[in-house]
A = this chain, B = another copy of it.
Amino acid sequence: MASQNNSGQSGAVSDLVDHLSRLPGIGRKSAERLAFHLLRVHESEAIALADAIRRVRQDVRYCEHCFNLCETTACQICSDPNRDATRLCVVEQPRDLMSLEQSGVYKGLYHVLLGRIAPLDGIGPDQLTIDALVDRVRTGNFVEVIMATNPTVEGDGTSLYVSNLLGEFPVQVTRLARGITAGSILEYANREVIADALTGRQKL
């Protein structure tokens, strides 16, 4: 690959630009800026990034209980004896779990569906970890299952589907509160948000 393309760029550089511009939210110009940044920084920094990408693909797998990302058979949360094993929070993706953990409010366990039911994208219940979730609820000692799917049509649909399946077990199924967001301005909240906030109003 000692070739150059017709923009006077070396083959290796244009190859890197190609790969970077395939990342979500990175256009051609940003990819070029990133490539030149990686050429300018200390070599160890660029190689460290390359190694981090390699390692994440080689070492990271799904937790065999909750399908969170981890590097062992069970993730840190599932192996932590201090977590409340009577509560289970169901999320779509590992990154949703991360957001919930960062709030520091929830101390129970999780279950990652690895997606949501989306018929238009050809994703049915079978492609998610719903069977494993039902098994966990059947064999576990859960008193509450909190549905924390995204507040979208597909997320709500998935929630409804799962909660119907869990109807046969003696657990309470709840969902995240809907309402106005902290720090927002009422004037700019849309109709659905205001409706949720009024319907779910709480005692002061």
Residues of A within 8 A of B (CB): 1-4, 6-13, 15-16, 18-20, 22-25, 30, 32-39, 43, 45-57, 59-60, 68-72, 75-77, 93-95, 97-98, 101-102, 110
Contact = CB atoms under 8 A, between A and B. Distances in A.
A25 B33 contact: yes
A184 to B, nearest CB: 18
29 contacts: A2-B72, A3-B76, A7-B98, A8-B68, A8-B76, A8-B77, A10-B60, A15-B56, A16-B52, A16-B53, A16-B56, A23-B34, A23-B49, A24-B37, A25-B33, A25-B34, A32-B98, A33-B95, A36-B93, A36-B94, A38-B56, A38-B57, A39-B60, A46-B53, A46-B54, A47-B54, A49-B53, A50-B50, A50-B53
State the copy count for this chain: 2
A61 to B, nearest CB: 9
Nearest to A68: B8
Given A76-B4, A98-B32, A12 B49 contact: no
Interface residues of chain A: helix, strand, loop or mixed (majority): helix
A75 B13 CA distance: 13
A71 B24 contact: no
Contact of A54 (B11, B36, B50, B56): B50
Contacts of A75: 4, 8, 10
A12 B97 contact: no
Closest 3 CB pairs of A and B: A4-B76, A50-B53, A8-B101
A35 B23 CA distance: 10
Contacts of A54: 46-47, 50
A2 B36 contact: no
Contacts of A60: 10, 12-13, 39
B38 A8 contact: no
Nearest to A9: B98
